[in-house]
Structure 1
C-alpha cells in the first residue's frame, strides 16, 4: 500500500485531509506538533481523530517555538484578537514560518517510513492570509524537499506535497468531509483554549461561516455564535 504523511493538527482542515488520504488508498502516518502553542485542545483532538480514522501511526513532535514567540498562538503576552472578515492584514495569530518547519519535519518522517506523499490542509480561499498557506509556498517547499532528501536526489523517489483544499472553500471542504465520515465534533479550531470555542477569533469565524454555507450545524459549542 502506498504511504502518506499527513499533517494533523486536530482542526477541521487537517482532520478532513486524514480521511481524504485514506479514501485515496494511502496508509496514513499522521504527524502532530506540540510547538508551545497556548493550549493543547487541538492536540487532544488530533489523537482522537487519528484513533477514529485508523491511521497506521500517529506521532507528536515537540518543539519550543514559544521560545521566541512572535505570535498570539505562541506568546501569551499577545492577546488573540477578534476576527475581522474584511481585513486584508495578516493577523497576529500568524506563527512565523510554522508550515515551513512542519513540512520539514514531515519530509524527514516521510523519508524514514518510505512515503512519497505529504498531505497538508492549507487553503488560500477561506483563510487568514497566512503566507505559508499559499500555492507559491507549497510549490517552493516541495522543490526544496526534493533537493534536500536522499530519497529524491540519490534514489529517484521524489516527494509530492498534496494540498487538496488549496483552491476549495471551507464549506466545500465540510461537504466533502461529511461524505467521508469525518466527525467534526472531535475537532477544534478556536485559537483560545477555553471550555467553549470563543466564536469570535478568525478561526472560529471562518469555521462557523463555512458550516452555515454548507448547510450543517457545527457540533462544537461556542460562547458566541453570530452565524
Structure 2
C-alpha cells in the first residue's frame, strides 16, 4: 500500500483529511509541539491517531521555536490577546514550511509518496496554506533529493492539501462525519488552552461556521 505522512494536529482539517483520502494510503502522523498555547490539540491528536488507526504517530518537540518566534504572533506569545476574527497577528511565520520540511524528511526515509497537511479554501488569508506555496516547496524538496529519486533510492513526493482540490472546511466536515460520526466533535480547534473550546476565538468561530455551512448540528462544547 502507498504511504502518506500527514501533519496531524488533532483538529478538524487534519483528521478529516485522513477520512477524505480514505483507504488508499497507509498513514503516518506527525504532530508538532512548537510552543503553541493550545496544547490541548496534542491530546486530541493522540486520540484520533488511534481512532483512525494511523500506522505510526510521532509527537515532535520543537518548542524551541517559541523563543525564536517571540511576540511575532498571538499563538505563541504570552502577551498578545487572541482575536475573534482574522488578523495577521495570528499568522505564525512560515510555520507550515517548518512542519512540511520535517514531515517531508520523514516521508523520504519511509519511501512515502504523499505528504499531507490540512489547509483548505478557508485558509486563503494564510500565505503558507496556499497551493502555490505547497507546490514550490514540493519542487524544492524533490530537487533536494533528486539524485536519490533518479537512482530509485527515494520516491518523488507530492505535498497535498484539501486546498489543492478546492475543498472547504465544511466539505471536510461532511467527509469526517460520515467516517467518524459524533467523535468528530472531539477534534480540537481552539487557540486557547482550556478544558473546552472558548467559543470566541477566530478558530472557534470558523469551526462554528463550518458546521453551520455543512448543515451539521454542532455538538462541540463551547464556554461561550
- Report the TM-score, using the length of structure 2 for normalisation: 0.90
CA contact (8 A) 1:147 1:153 kept: no
- 1:164 is aligned to 2:146: no
* Distance across 2 between alignment mates of 1:203 and 1:37: 14
- 1:154: how far off? 4.1
Per-residue deviation at 1:179? Answer: 2.0
Offset of 1:170 from its aligned partner?
A: 1.6
- Residues 55-86 of structure 1 show CA distances to partners (whole Å, capped at 9, x for unaligned) of 100001111210122211111112111215xx
Please show how residues 97-176 of structure 1 align to structure 2 within 5 Å. Answer: 97-123=94-120, 125-127=121-123, 129-149=125-145, 151-152=148-149, 154-155=151-152, 157-166=155-164, 167-176=166-175
Equivalent residue runs for 1:1-227 within 5 Å: 1-21=1-21, 23-63=22-62, 64-69=64-69, 70-83=72-85, 90-123=87-120, 125-127=121-123, 129-149=125-145, 151-152=148-149, 154-155=151-152, 157-166=155-164, 167-181=166-180, 183-224=183-224
Contact 1:81 1:201 in 2 (8 A): yes
Quick check: 1:151–1:158 contact (8 Å CA) kept in 2?
A: no
- Where structure 1 has 5 or more consecutive residues not aligned to the other structure, the ranges are 85-89
SS, match of residue 147 in structure 1: helix
1:127 shift after superposition: 2.6
**Secondary structure of 1:181's match?**
helix
Cα deviation for residue 180 of structure 1 reads: 2.4
Distance 1:113 1:222 in 2: 39
Q: Relative to structure 1, is the Cα distance of residues 154 and 72 closer, same or farther in structure 2, using a 3 angstrom cutoff?
A: farther
Distance 1:192 1:157, change over 3 A: same
RMSD between aligned alpha carbons?
A: 1.7
Structure 2 unpaired stretches of 5+ = none
- 8 Å Cα contact 2:75/2:191 also seen in 1: yes
State the TM-score, normalized to the length of structure 1: 0.89
CA offset at residue 171 of structure 1? 1.5
- C-alpha spacing 1:154/1:74, structure 2 compared with 1 (3 Å): farther
- Partners of 2:108 and 2:210 lie apart in 1 by 35
